[in-house]
């Protein structure tokens, strides 16, 4: 990139930094995990995977009340973690959260690891979660990129929507943005995520009131919903099984398709989310 063009890009990014962080200071949601300890941050990041804030809030408060530290969760049973997960969806996350708590108790003196490298070694933790916990819990300059950040940055800088999955080009864009930041990286991470979640949304972006509208070439067009159907799926069958077992052991379940029910039971058994003795039940 020519030096003049590079300088212009850096100047534009500095302006974006200021605009988005100023917007964040005025419009940020007061979410409890933004002012808590590392364990509270960690639990929130696991719960927020593919689950909206409105559903996570009551569950997060209940988990924090019941298991205020990693050790308190690790000392309880995985079955109780799965039972308490309730309707958050993707219950494998509850099992992974319990497994991670055991690692924290046994290998990290009951504390959440404070580096991305150590966080990535925990069960159920990938690139995004490790970066987010490192940034929000420990103030690390991690490159935090979720779908909201991807959508916001790609639209602003290319005029397009993001790819179906995190691409090399998007990664390079995010890293270039972080390299040129003139605000603290953790602040930018929180502000850019919030901006993508509340302004540059997927289905109804607030382009008319967006403070970056004059600098963005993206033009909203008709969108086709790609939301996967839930009714009648194997995933719903798994949910019915777990909902039944949260009340206690059972040998039968209210599901109309025996083959689909068996697939659900086999999958839950393989994932370690249920056990079978004489009756089906949650693990101890």
- The yes-or-no answer on residue 107 being catalytic is no
pLDDT < 70 regions, the chain? 1-14, 219-230
Handedness of CA 187, 188, 190, 194 (dihedral sign): positive
Count CB-CB contacts under 10 A for residue 215.
13
**What does CATH list as the number for 32-138?**
1.10.340.30
| pLDDT for the residue numbered 66 | 97
| pLDDT for the residue numbered 259 | 84
Smallest CA-to-CA distance from 244 within 235, 254, 258, 234 is with 254
For the chain, the structural domain boundaries read: 32-138, 144-215, 234-281
Distances (CA, A) of 158 to 42, 48, 155, 217: 33, 28, 6, 7
Contact 250, 282 (CB under 8 A): no
- SS3 annotation, the chain: CCHHHHHHHHHHHHHHHHHHHHHHHHHCCCCHHHHCCHHHHHHHHHHCCCCCHHHHHHHHHHHHHHCCCHHHHHCCCHHHHHHHHCCCCCCHHHHHHHHHHHHHHHHCCCCCCCCHHHHHCCCCCCHHHHHHHHHHHHCCCCCCCCHHHHHHHHHHHHCCCCCCCCCHHHHHHHHHHHHCCCCCHHHHHHHHHHHHHHCCCCCCCCCCCCCCHHHCCCCCCCCCCCCCCCCCCHHHHHHHHHHHHCCCCECCCCCCCHHHHHHHHHHHHHCCCCEECCCEECCC
| pLDDT for the residue numbered 220 | 62
Tokens standing for 211? 């403070």
Burial of 3-33, coded b for 16+ CB within 10 Å and e otherwise, reads eeeeeeeeeebeebbebbbebbeeeeeebeb
| pLDDT for the residue numbered 6 | 44
Count CB-CB contacts under 10 A for residue 168.
8
| pLDDT for the residue numbered 186 | 95
Catalytic residue, from 5, 6, 26, 45: name it.
45
């Amino acid at each position: 990139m020519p030096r003049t063009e590079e300088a212009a890009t850096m100047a534009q990014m500095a302006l974006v930094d200021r605009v988005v962080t100023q917007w964040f200071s005025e419009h940020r949601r007061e979410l409890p995990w933004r002012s808590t300890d590392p364990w509270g941050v960690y639990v929130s990041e696991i719960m927020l995977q593919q689950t909206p804030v409105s559903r996570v809030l009551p569950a997060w408060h209940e988990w924090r009340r019941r298991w205020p530290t990693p050790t308190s969760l690790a000392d309880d049973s995985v079955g109780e973690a799965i039972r308490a997960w309730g309707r958050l969806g993707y219950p494998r996350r509850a099992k992974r959260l319990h497994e991670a708590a055991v690692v924290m108790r046994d290998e990290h003196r009951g504390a959440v690891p404070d580096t991305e490298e150590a966080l990535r070694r925990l069960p159920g933790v990938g690139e995004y979660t490790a970066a987010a916990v490192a940034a929000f819990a420990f103030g690390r300059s991690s490159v935090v990129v979720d779908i909201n950040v991807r959508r916001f940055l790609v639209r602003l800088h290319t005029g397009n929507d993001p790819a179906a999955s995190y691409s090399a080009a998007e990664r390079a864009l995010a890293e270039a943005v972080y390299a040129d930041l003139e605000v603290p990286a953790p602040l930018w991470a929180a502000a850019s995520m919030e901006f993508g979640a509340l302004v540059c949304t997927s289905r109804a972006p607030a382009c008319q009131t967006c403070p970056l509208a004059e600098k963005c070439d993206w033009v909203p067009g008709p969108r086709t919903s790609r939301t996967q159907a839930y009714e009648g799926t194997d995933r719903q069958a798994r949910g019915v099984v777990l909902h039944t077992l949260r009340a206690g052991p059972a040998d039968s379940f209210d599901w109309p398709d025996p083959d689909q029910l068996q697939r659900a039971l086999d999958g839950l058994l393989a994932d370690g989310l249920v056990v079978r003795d004489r009756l089906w039940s949650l693990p101890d």
